[in-house]
Every structure is written in structure tokens, then in C-alpha cells.
Amino acid sequence: MSTKIASARISEKSSKLLQDLNNSLPFDKVLYREDIEGSRAHASMLCEQNIISVEDYNKIDAGLLEILEEVESGEFKLDGNDEDIHMAIEGRLTEKVGDAGKRLHTARSRNDQVALDFRLYVQNNTKTIASLLLENIRTLVNVAEEHAETMLPGMTHLQHAQPINFGYHMLAYASMFKRDYERFLSSYERNNYSPIGCAALAGTPHNISRQLTSDKLGFTAPTLNCLDTVSDRDFALEILFNISTMMMHMSRLSEELILWSAAEFKWVTLSDRHATGSSIMPQKKNPDIPELLRGKTGRVNGNLVALLTVMKGLPLAYNKDMQEDKEGVFDSVRTATLSLQVLEEMIADMTVNKDAMEDSCMVGHLSATDLADYLVKEAGLPFRDAYHITGDAVNLAEKKGLDISELALDDLQSIDERIGEGVVALLDNRASMNARMSEGGTATVRTLEQVESLRGWLSKQK
Ligand code: ARG
């Protein structure tokens, strides 16, 4: 097809280098479905508003449907010299249906056309990513229910802190993904407005109905201001930010899985389906999948910063800089979609090594805080004094090569006679975990309540 379909003022053939720099078809061809859907809605509105004839409309619509089939069957390759997907499809339509095809671009510009196509793409993929998030939340909740009694050392500063259960730990990630899901949905609602009919920047003198195209395309309403609409890429920035935040969560989970698979922990074993070998060390099993998920977080962050930077100095309205909006979004969407699918499979398939986790709980005096809490509750000590007495108990345990939960009552009373009989039972790690009954706490019953709460929430999502 001619690269000059829209170049009334340009007589010379474009330089090859200009085409290489300028043409977006090599990457925006993925928008062919959205472009055809948008054009069909636009043509149908033009016909209803008596701007084009029914005859022309029928030709345009049949032509566009044929082009859709040609692209999907590979007959129409989208690898020509056309500047972009919009010109490629319009050119092909005109080849097929003649003058009727040339009427399609009435009352629109590529500026609102690209804003529409790209927004449809972002909206569709927002839904796909949101539903993959739900799958991940479901899986995490299932693992959480199974392991609401599996104890492990909860950490701060990556140092053993207090006993928690593995289910509770998984629910922390389920909570992050729930917020991510809600962020994608709220972006969807905020951006669900139709750009088409804004034309180049100022609207059009044709008697169009933006409400009609908006309804046909499933938007909430047409956008308010055309100048803003053709200049706006907030919807693209939002999906990039939402993906970055979600991948940051995934990266933290990946980091933990990598640590937990190391010999020093051995808390989880990733299935052989999700691990790879070394080319030189035959004994090795590497956690490449979580490493890649962690690594890919870097590139999606890059895509976000790149588009923020592209947009920051642009005068209104459309500037060709904005063509740089697409590749990063396509890349982040592809990355997010694949990563979420892999993560879900990996979590569902991993083995949780309960014994190794529970053995680790005997290191680090995890229940020390319970002694201090006991002295506050039962002996009325100020917390700071109780804290120091507990420090002495920890030192004694260290000297004896024991965990604080293994100290005998006599040992404890040698430190402070206000320590009564009940303490020994309180210092047991499981008792310590189950004592954390406050709302949102780690006690097994509280963990199971959180499981139920998330299940209730999941059942209400579409
Ligand atoms: N390929 C362009 C893009 O992706 C389409 C819009 C072109 N509009 C224009 N006035 N040159 O941004």
C-alpha cells in the first residue's frame, strides 16, 4: 500500500530512513482488532447520522470484516510500508471497496483513532490481568488454608522475630494482589470513556454522535474535552503503574521463594517443572522462574518511567513523541500476563517443607516477647522493665545452648521470682503464635478467618 495515503502536501517519496524511524506498523499491528472494531462503530454512527449512505456503510462494514479474517488467517500480513495500523487497514479497505473506503475517515483523525484503539487495548488487557490476579489470589488462599498451622519464624530485618504460620504469610501476598486487582478495576472505571469523534483536536463540524459510538463500543460515555482526549495517555500510564506495583509484589514473593529454596532454609521445594539445571554442575536445581519474575520487574518499571518521561514536556495536543507510548505498554502487558500465569502454577505446585519450617522456629527465641507480655499482664510490670528481665532470660538460654521456650521454670524464676508457673506453656512457639489473636493477627483461627473473608470477597468478583 501507498505510504502516502495521507500526504496531500508531500510530493516526494519518503526516505527509507524516515520510514524506519516514523513507521509504527511493525509494532502497532497488534492493534488490528481494536482498529477494526473502532472503525466499524464509527462507520455505523456515520450512517445512522446520515453522514454516509447505507450503501457505503454496508460496503465498509463487510470490507472491515473481511480484513479481520484476512489478518487472522495470515492472508493480509501487515508487513508492508504503511505508516501504521490505521493507514494499513484504511488502505486495504479502499483497495477492496473503492470510494466507500475513502469515506470512512470522515469526522475523525488518526489522533482520536489511535487514542481509541490504544484505550480499547488497555481496557481489554486490564480485564485480562485482573482475572489472572483473581486466579493467583484463589491459589494463595488455598495454600493458606492448608498451612494455617504450619509454623515458621516470622522475620523483621530478615532476622527471626516471632512465630507465624505459612498460611498467614501467603495471605499477606493475597492482600497485596487484592489491592492490585482493585487498582486495575478502578483504572478501568476511570478510563472507560470514548475518545472517538474528537477528531484532530477540536471536534468536528459534522453532525456526529459521540454518544452512539461510545455506546456501541461499551464505554461509559464520551470523554468531556477533545483537546485533552487526544493529548491524554494517563490510561496507558495507569496500566504501566498498576503493572509495576503488582510486579513489585510478585518480585518480593519471588525473592522469598528463592531464599526459601536455598539449602540454608529448605522451607519450600519448587517443582521440577519450575526449576532448571546448571550446564556444568549436575547436582544443581536453580530457581530461575522466581529469578526471572524478580528480574522482569526491572523492565516494567523502565517502561513506566519511559512513558512518564515522554509525556512530561509535550505541548497540547498530539505530538509524534506519543507514538512512543505503545511498545512499553505492549511489553509490560505481555510480561505481566505471562508472569501471573507462571506464578500461579508455581505456587500451586510447590512443596512446603513443614518440618524444616518448624525446626527453624527453635532458633532465635521467637517467643521472648511473650515473656515480657506475661510480666506486663500478670505481674503489672511496666513494659520496659519486663523487656529487660526478658533480655536476661534470653541471655541465660543462650548460655545454656537452649531456646527460650526450652528453659525450665526454675531457670526462669532464678531471673525473677514474679515469673509464675503458667509461663512455660506460654513460651511454647505454637502457643505464642496462637496467642496473637488480635484482628488480622497470625493465630491459626485468625488466619482461617482471613481465608474465609478473602473467599467471601472472591465469590463477589465477576
Ligand atoms: N502511529 C501514530 C501513533 O501511534 C498514529 C497517530 C498519528 N497521528 C498523526 N497526526 N501523525 O501515535
In the prediction, which pLDDT does 5 show?
A: 61
Write out pLDDT tens, residues 23-63.
999 999 999 999 999 999 999 999 999 999 999 999 999 99
Task: Say how far apart CA 322 and CA 313 lie, in whole Å.
Answer: 11
The percentage of residues in the chain with a pLDDT greater than 70, rounded to a whole number, is 99
In the prediction, which pLDDT does 150 show?
A: 98
Helices (H) and strands (E) in the chain, counts: 20, 6
The residues facing 221 across adjacent strands are 193
Write out pLDDT tens, residues 285-296.
899 999 999 999
Q: Whose C-alpha lies nearest to ligand 1, atom 4?
A: 323
**Residue 281 binned pLDDT confidence (cut-offs 50, 70, 90):** confident
pTM of the model: 0.95
The residues facing 268 across adjacent strands are 352
Q: Coil, helix or strand for 412?
A: helix
In the prediction, which pLDDT does 276 show?
A: 81
Mutate to test the pocket of ligand 1, among 5, 81, 114 (most ligand atoms within 8 A of CB): 114
Q: What are phi and psi of 247, to 5 degrees?
A: -70, -30
Mutate to test the pocket of ligand 1, among 5, 85, 111, 232 (most ligand atoms within 8 A of CB): 111
**What letter represents residue 163's amino acid?**
P
Look at residue 1 and tell me whether its pLDDT is greater than 70.
no
Q: Which of 208, 188, 178, 45 has the alpha carbon at shortest distance from 119?
A: 188
Is 157 designated active site?
yes
CB neighbours of residue 46 within 10 Å? 26
Q: Whose C-alpha lies nearest to ligand 1, atom 11?
A: 320
In the prediction, which pLDDT does 251 show?
A: 98
Task: Say how far apart CA 192 and CA 278 lie, in whole Å.
Answer: 48
Q: What is the mean pLDDT of residues 382-394?
A: 96
CA 112 to chain centre: 27
How open is the CA angle 263-269-272, to the nearest 5 degrees? 115
| Run of H or E including 352 | strand 351-352
Task: Say how far apart CA 300 and CA 297 lie, in whole Å.
Answer: 5
In the prediction, which pLDDT does 11 show?
A: 76
Cell of 156: 523483621
In the prediction, which pLDDT does 2 show?
A: 41
Q: Which of 13-17, 143-147, 159-163 has the lowest mean pLDDT?
A: 13-17
Cα torsion angle, 204, 209, 214, 217, sign: negative
- The ligand 1 atom at the shortest distance from the C-alpha of residue 85 is 1
Is 206 designated active site?
no
Residues sharing a CB contact under 8 Å with residue 339, sequence separation 6 or more, in sequence order: 247, 250, 293, 296
In the prediction, which pLDDT does 4 show?
A: 56
Ligand 1 center–CA 217 separation, angstroms: 21
**Residue 278 binned pLDDT confidence (cut-offs 50, 70, 90):** confident
In the prediction, which pLDDT does 6 show?
A: 64
Q: What is the mean pLDDT of residues 98-111?
A: 98
Q: What is the mean pLDDT of residues 64-74?
A: 98
Pocket of ligand 1 (CB under 6 A): 24, 28, 84, 110-111, 114, 318, 320, 322-323
Look at residue 93 and tell me whether its pLDDT is greater than 70.
yes
CB neighbours of residue 79 within 10 Å? 10
Residues sharing a CB contact under 8 Å with residue 122, sequence separation 6 or more, in sequence order: 191, 235, 236, 239, 329
To 10 degrees, the CA torsion angle through 300, 217, 321, 243?
-10
**Residue 209 binned pLDDT confidence (cut-offs 50, 70, 90):** very high
How open is the CA angle 313-318-324, to the nearest 5 degrees? 70
Cell of 412: 526462669
Q: Whose C-alpha lies nearest to ligand 1, atom 3?
A: 323
Task: Say how far apart CA 350 and CA 142 lie, in whole Å.
Answer: 13
Number of residues that make up the chain: 462
| Pair type for strands 268-269 and 221-222 | unpaired
**Residue 3 binned pLDDT confidence (cut-offs 50, 70, 90):** very low
Mutate to test the pocket of ligand 1, among 4, 323, 324, 327 (most ligand atoms within 8 A of CB): 323
Which of 11, 73, 157, 279 is labelled catalytic? 157
In the prediction, which pLDDT does 8 show?
A: 80
Ligand 1 center–CA 110 separation, angstroms: 6
Ligand 1 center–CA 44 separation, angstroms: 23
Task: Say how far apart CA 399 and CA 393 lie, in whole Å.
Answer: 10
- The ligand 1 atom at the shortest distance from the C-alpha of residue 28 is 4
DSSP E strands, 132-229: 151-156, 159-165, 193-194, 221-222
Q: What is the mean pLDDT of residues 274-283?
A: 80
Write out pLDDT tens, residues 150-175.
999 999 999 999 999 999 999 999 99
Which of 15, 186, 278, 453 is labelled catalytic? 278
